[in-house]
Amino acid sequence: MNLAPYAVTAANSRGRQIAETPPSGRTEFQRDRDRIIHSGAFRRLEYKTQVFVNHEGDLFRTRLTHSMEVAQIARSITRRLHLNEDLAEAISLAHDLGHTPFGHAGQDALNACMQAHGGFEHNLQSLRVVDVLEQHYAEFDGLNLCFETREGILKHCSQAAAAQLGEVGERFLQSRRPSLEAQIANLADAIAYNNHDVDDGLRSGLITLEQLADVPLVQQHILQVRQLYPDLPTRRVVHETVRRMINTLVADLIQQSQANIAAQSLTCLDDVRAAPPLIAFSADIFAQHQALKQFLRINMYHHYQVERMSHKAHRIISDLFTVFMENRNLLPPQFQPQVDHARAVADYIAGMTDRYAIREHRRIFEVT
C-alpha cells in the first residue's frame, strides 16, 4: 500500500540504538511488533487489569485484551489515513507494558511509595521495559526497538524526566509532536478503554443502562438499537450499543484528522513533528467523549466496590515496597545487586501480575 509522504517508514526512521542487519521478509516495525509479542512483559498483561482485579471474572478485559483492542482500532485508523499500520500496532501492543498490578490503584500506590526516589510513572516504565528490563537477547538489553516505536510508547513525560532520556525525551523539551501513528495509538487507547469500560461496567452491574441515559454518546445509540430491535435481550443491546459508539468515535477521528492534515499541507515526517497535534476528534464528539469519561470516573472508578479493591491494592503494594526496601535479601537474586535499590524494588513490583502480587504478599506476611 502507498503510504502518505509524512508516514513513518524504515527509510525516514531514526533507527535502533544498536544497529542491526535489516530484517528480511518483514518490515522494521513488524520486527518491533514481533519482539513485543515475544516479550515476558507482554505475556504478563494477561493477568493484569485496569479496573477489575484479575480474579474477579474471566469475561472482563485484561491489559492483554485491552492492548489488542487498542491495536485493532489503531490499525483501522492508520490504514484509512495511509500511515504505517505496523508502527501503530507495535506502539499499541507495547503501550501498557509498564503497568503495575491492580490498574490505576497500583500505579498510584507505587508512585506514592517512590516519591522520595524519583516517583513511578507507567509510561516511563513501559519504555524502561522495552529499553532495559527485558533481558533475552545476546547483543543488547531490552528489545532494541526503533526510535519511532519508543517515542510512541512514551506518550507523556515530565520535563525533568525528559531531560534524562536523551533523544526520545527531546520532543517534550522542544514541544514537538510524535508521529501521526503515535498520536493515533494514543487516541485508540482512549477509545478502547472508554468503550470497554462501559461494557465491563454493565456486565459487572457496577453501572446500569438507565444511568447511562444521561450520557449522550451512549444514549443516542441505546435508543437507536432499541428502536431497531425492540425485543433484543440486554446483553445484545449492550454490545450493539458499544460497537456503534466505537464506530462513531473512529469515523469522527478519521474525518477530523483528515481535515486537520489537509489544512497543514504536510510534505514529510518532520512537518508532522512541527505541526500542532493533528489526530483529533471534532469538538462535538470530543465533548461527548469527555462526558463519558467523566461519567465513568464518578460512577465506575469510584464505585464503592472498586474503591474497596483499590484500598486492598494500595495495601499490598505499599506493604511489599516497605518490606523490600527494609530487607533486600527478601528480593529474588536478580533484583538484589542494583545500585538504585528503590528502582529495583519498583521494577520488581511493577512487573508483578495481580495474582502474583497477592501471592507474594501472602508468602511474606502470612505465617501459615
The span of 9-17, 19-27, 92-100, 127-135 binding Mg ion (CB under 5 A) equals 92-100
Shorter beta-carbon distance to Mg ion: residue 186 or 256? 186
Smallest gap from Cβ 100 to Mg ion, in A, equals: 13
Smallest gap from Cβ 97 to Mg ion, in A, equals: 10
DSSP letter for each residue of 59-87 = SS--HHHHHHHHHHHHHHHHHHTT--HHH
Shorter beta-carbon distance to Mg ion: residue 51 or 313? 51
The span of 2-10, 182-190, 238-246, 341-349 binding Mg ion (CB under 5 A) equals 182-190
Query: How far is CA 305 from each of CA 62, 115, 300, 302, rounded to the nearest angstrom?
Result: 18, 28, 9, 8
Give the separation between CA 257 and CA 334, rounded to whole angstroms. 46
Shorter beta-carbon distance to Mg ion: residue 94 or 269? 94
Smallest gap from Cβ 50 to Mg ion, in A, equals: 7
Shorter beta-carbon distance to Mg ion: residue 148 or 189? 189
SS3 of the chain: helix, strand, coil, percent, to 5: 65, 0, 35
Q: Judge residue 354's burial from the number of C-beta atoms within 10 Å of its C-beta, 0-12 exposed, 13-18 middle, 19 or more buried.
A: buried
The span of 31-39, 85-93, 185-193, 349-357 binding Mg ion (CB under 5 A) equals 185-193
Smallest gap from Cβ 192 to Mg ion, in A, equals: 7
Residue type, 132: V
Smallest gap from Cβ 188 to Mg ion, in A, equals: 9
Q: Residue with CB nearest Mg ion? A: 189
- Between residue 306 and residue 335, which ones bind Mg ion under the rule CB under 5 A? none
The answer to whether 85 contacts Mg ion (rule: CB under 5 A) is no
Smallest gap from Cβ 193 to Mg ion, in A, equals: 6
Smallest gap from Cβ 342 to Mg ion, in A, equals: 26
Structure-block grid coordinates of residue 19: 544497529
Shorter beta-carbon distance to Mg ion: residue 178 or 360? 178
265 in the Ramachandran plot: left (φ > 0), alpha (ψ -120 to 50) or beta?
Answer: left
Cβ atoms of 300 and 207 within 8 Å: the answer is yes
C-alpha gyration radius of the chain: 21
Shorter beta-carbon distance to Mg ion: residue 80 or 104? 104
- Between residue 209 and residue 228, which ones bind Mg ion under the rule CB under 5 A? none
Give the separation between CA 348 and CA 363, rounded to whole angstroms. 15
Which residues fall within 8 angstroms of residue 173, CB to CB, at 6 or more apart?
159, 162, 163
Smallest gap from Cβ 6 to Mg ion, in A, equals: 25
The answer to whether 151 contacts Mg ion (rule: CB under 5 A) is no
The span of 83-91, 187-195, 223-231, 302-310 binding Mg ion (CB under 5 A) equals 187-195
Q: What is the dihedral angle through the alpha carbons of 284, 79, 62, 244, rounded to the nearest 10 degrees?
A: 40
The span of 35-43, 90-98, 281-289, 340-348 binding Mg ion (CB under 5 A) equals 90-98
Contact with Mg ion (CB under 5 A) among 86, 89, 151, 189: 189
Count of CB atoms situated within 10 Å of the CB of 230: 7
The span of 96-104, 131-139, 274-282, 287-295 binding Mg ion (CB under 5 A) equals 96-104
The answer to whether 96 contacts Mg ion (rule: CB under 5 A) is yes
The span of 75-83, 91-99, 123-131, 208-216 binding Mg ion (CB under 5 A) equals 91-99
Count of CB atoms situated within 10 Å of the CB of 59: 10
Give the separation between CA 3 and CA 86, rounded to whole angstroms. 12
- Contacts with Mg ion by CB under 5 A: the residue count is 2
Smallest gap from Cβ 363 to Mg ion, in A, equals: 30
Give the separation between CA 127 and CA 246, rounded to whole angstroms. 28
The answer to whether 200 contacts Mg ion (rule: CB under 5 A) is no
Shorter beta-carbon distance to Mg ion: residue 45 or 349? 45
DSSP designation for 205? T
Footprint on this chain of Mg ion (rule: CB under 5 A): 96, 189
